[in-house]
Copies of this chain bind each other. A is one copy, B any other.
Amino acid sequence: MRKVAIVGTGLTKWGVRGATYKELVQEAGKDLFDDVPNLDKPEVDSLFVGSALVDRLAFQAYPAPIVAEQLGLKPSRMAMRTEMACVSGQSAIRVAYASIVSGLSDVAVVVGAEKMNLPSMAEVQSSMACVLDREWDGVNGLNAPPYFALVAQRHMHEYGTTEEQMAEVSVKNHDHAATNPYAHFPKRVTKEKVLGSTRIAPPLKLLDCSGITDGAAAVLMTHGDAAKRFTDTPVFIEGLGQAQSGSLVVNLESLTTWLPLKRAAADAFKMAGVTVHDMDLAETHDCFTISEIMEYEDLGLCGKGEGGTYVTEGQSRIGGELPTNLRGGLLGCGHPLGATGVAQAIEVTRQFRAQVPQERYVGGDWGLCHNLSGNANNHAVMVLHRGG
């Protein structure tokens, strides 16, 4: 079977951008093409676009041809958009992987992009509520912050997790974001500032939540034999896992243990022939601070209920057991839904290539990317390995 590598990366500045969806895509594309000077655009036979809410927030269905045209590409073998809410970006990478392994593609561009900010934030919120089952959970107000607040309350009740521990996740990820010129929120925050920030859905406060962010990210992917044409340090996708648990909140198996994450991680590590303890760095889906705490636990980095201690001990900081969310995570970078999964893969790739500022450089050989979507009913895990 063919091996598949990420061989080039491109990013936009993330934030509240005075830019359209098309402009964001073009900006990420330029950054990507600058990174792969050996690429001849007609070689790109496939294009996969991860976008969650482009129909509603950019008023545009069928974005794949538009992205192709913005980038000057004419995909001759595969083209589509993938949508899986907050897993849309990693889904695009997964389809590129499967297409390359199966021989349907040789050279693929993957773009994750989202234009989130509109003049009317009410419109944005109403569109975001479509991500949960609109007729049941959405209509009852269970969009993301209230749902993750339930999770946090239950986790606090069961395991004694505290708001201070959650705040530490935000402090850490903002520390990392301060080293990242692409981040939406590149400013350090104190624990006191997190704890004192505006209440959103108790116990979650503003700085426990990822932001509404515009941004795009792009990678070039190809098979192992071709990878060295584009880079001395291809980053191979060695493990992939994804699992699901229900759809409605009432049908989830547990609020405080993400069983689909456990299953997805087990599959991804088995496929790669490694364990979580072999990882040198991780990008996990910190849509809310409580999420990252549960991810430490359900990835097996600590026992159940010990995620709060894990972060306060500094285990997820540089120098700790597994430096996590080095680009700043969703909390520090913001969360343009479809772009997030692609940007996580870019952080791992740039770390392996020593293309990040020294302050957050960790490098290593093995990295993990994790996304969850909706009410955490679906989790996707990807294990990356430094080649070269």
CB of A340 within 8 Å of the partner chain: no
Residues facing B in A226-250 (CB within 8 A) are: 240-248
Question: Contact between A74 and B244 (Cβ–Cβ < 8 Å)?
Answer: yes
Interface of A is mostly: mixed
Nearest CB of chain B from residue A110's CB, rounded to whole Å: 13
CA A88 – CA B69 in complex, angstroms? 19
Q: Are B59 and A104 in contact (CB under 8 A)?
A: no
Q: Which residue of B lies closest to A373 (CB)?
A: B62
A274 interfacial contact with B, CB 8 Å: no
CA of A240 to CA of B104, assembled, Å: 8
Is A130 within 8 A of B62, CB to CB? yes
Please give the distance in Å from A74's CB to the nearest CB on chain B: 6
The reply on A169 being an interface residue by CB < 8 A is no
Q: Give CA–CA (A248, B66) in the complex, Å.
A: 8
By beta carbon, the residue of chain B nearest A98 is B98
> Within the complex, what minimum Cβ distance (angstroms) separates A193 from chain B?
33
Bound CA–CA A80/B377 (angstroms): 13
A247 CB, nearest partner CB in chain B, Å: 4
A173 at the interface (CB under 8 A from B): no
Residues of B within 8 A of A87 (CB): 80
How far, in Å, is A85 (CB) from chain B's closest CB?
4
Docked complex Cα distance between A97 and B22 (Å) = 30
Say yes or no for A84: interface residue by CB 8 A criterion: yes
Bound Cα distance A134, B22 (Å):
11
Contact of A97 among B75, B82, B102 (CB under 8 A): B102
Is the pair A127, B61 in contact by a Cβ cutoff of 8 Å? yes
State A91–B48 Cα separation when bound (angstroms): 11
- B133 touching A60 by the CB < 8 A rule? yes
Given A60-B133, A62-B85, A65-B378: A79 touches B127 (CB 8 Å cut-off): no
Instruction: Give A133 to B76 CA distance when docked, in angstroms.
Output: 20
User: Which residues of chain A (218-277) have a CB below 8 Å from chain B?
Assistant: 240-248, 251, 263, 267
Cα A52 to Cα B61 in complex, Å, equals 7
Is A284 located at the chain interface by the 8 A CB criterion? no
CB closest chain-B residue, reference A85: B62
Contact: B247 with A69, CB < 8 Å? yes
Q: Check if A77 sits within 8 Å of B133, measured CB to CB.
A: no
Known: A69-B247, A243-B76, A243-B77. A61 touches B267 (CB 8 A): no
- Min C-beta distance of A94 to chain B, whole Å: 7
> Are B66 and A133 neighbours in the complex by a CB distance under 8 Å?
yes
Q: What's the Cα separation between A134 and B62 when bound, in Å?
A: 10
- Taken together as a complex, chains A and B put the C-alpha atoms of A33 and B143 apart, in Å, by 32
Please, how many angstroms separate the alpha-carbon atoms of A32 and B368 in the complex? 37
Give chain A's interface residues, CB within 8 Å of chain B. Answer: 1, 20, 22, 52-53, 55-56, 59-62, 64-66, 68-69, 74-85, 87-88, 91, 94-95, 97-99, 101-104, 127, 130-135, 240-248, 251, 263, 267, 373-374, 377-378
Given A1-B102, A62-B131, A77-B243, 10 more A-B residue pairs with CB atoms under 8 Å apart are A52-B61, A53-B55, A56-B61, A59-B130, A66-B247, A79-B242, A80-B88, A81-B83, A82-B83, A94-B104
Interface pairs (19), CB distance under 8 Å = A22-B135, A53-B61, A55-B56, A60-B133, A65-B246, A65-B373, A69-B248, A69-B251, A76-B243, A77-B267, A78-B94, A79-B242, A79-B244, A80-B95, A81-B83, A82-B95, A95-B98, A97-B102, A101-B102
The 8 closest A-B pairs by CB, nearest first: A101-B102, A98-B98, A69-B247, A65-B247, A62-B85, A55-B55, A61-B130, A98-B102
